[in-house]
Amino acid sequence: MKKFTQSLALTALVLLPLAAAAQEAEPRLAVELNATEATEAGCKVTFLATNGLGTALDRAALEMALFDRDGGIRRIVTLEFKALPENKTKVLQFQLAGLDCAELGRVLVNDVTACEGPELAANLCLDRLATSARPDIGFGV
């Protein structure tokens, strides 16, 4: 029994990194909330988008719900990411008029309103969306 348990533990140690590598290699659309900057007009929000889906996107757009630090919804906006070439990272900036960056507590990807390109299955962008954030603002699906 001891040898079986040791073999099982050794097998798990070998397979765990392989499973993690397979997850990392899965095609995805990565969107990072990179920065916010207060401006006279409101809040400038910067995103990094990396198309790792294995095909070019002719057009991508995300509907995002913006919440304040108390959890109240401030507004819903659709941000046009335009074309995203395959395996390319693109910097995108959006000016959100009348929004105070200091009050922005969470950004929720409410929906993918456009995911257009050759050989795209329905819901691929939403199913393969990976989010992250640099500022202290919650960002996710």
SS (H, E, C) 41-108: CEEEEEEEEEEECCCCEEEEEEEEEEEECCCCEEEEEEEEEEEECCCCEEEEEEEEECCCHHHEEEEE
In a domain, 2, yes or no: no
Residue 119 forms part of a structural domain: yes
What residue numbers bound the domain in which 85 lies?
A: 27-140
Residue 8's identity, in one-letter code, is L
Tell me what pLDDT residue 11 has: 44
Asked if the model's pLDDT at residue 10 lies above 60, the reply is: no
> How confident is the model over 72-95, as a mean pLDDT?
95
pLDDT at 141 over 80: yes
Q: % helix / strand / coil in the chain, to the nearest 5?
A: 20, 55, 25
Residue at 101 is within a domain: yes
Residue 22 has pLDDT above 80, yes or no: no
Identify the band that residue 24 occupies on the pLDDT scale cut at 50, 70 and 90.
low
Task: Report pLDDT digits (tens) over 27-61.
Answer: 899 999 999 999 999 999 999 999 999 999 999 99
Alpha-carbon distance 1 to 10, whole Å? 14
What CATH number is given to the structural domain containing 68? Answer: 2.60.40
> What is the C-alpha to C-alpha distance for residues 51 and 29, in angstroms, rounded to an integer?
5
CB 44 within 8 A of CB 93: yes
3-class secondary-structure state, position 36? strand
Distance CA 102, CA 11 (A): 49
Q: Is residue 14 part of a domain?
A: no
pLDDT score, position 119: 75
Number of domains in the chain: 1
Model confidence over 103-125: pLDDT tens digits? Answer: 999 999 999 999 999 877 768 89
Please state the pTM of the whole predicted model.
0.78
Q: What is the pLDDT of residue 18?
A: 47
pLDDT at position 123, please? 82
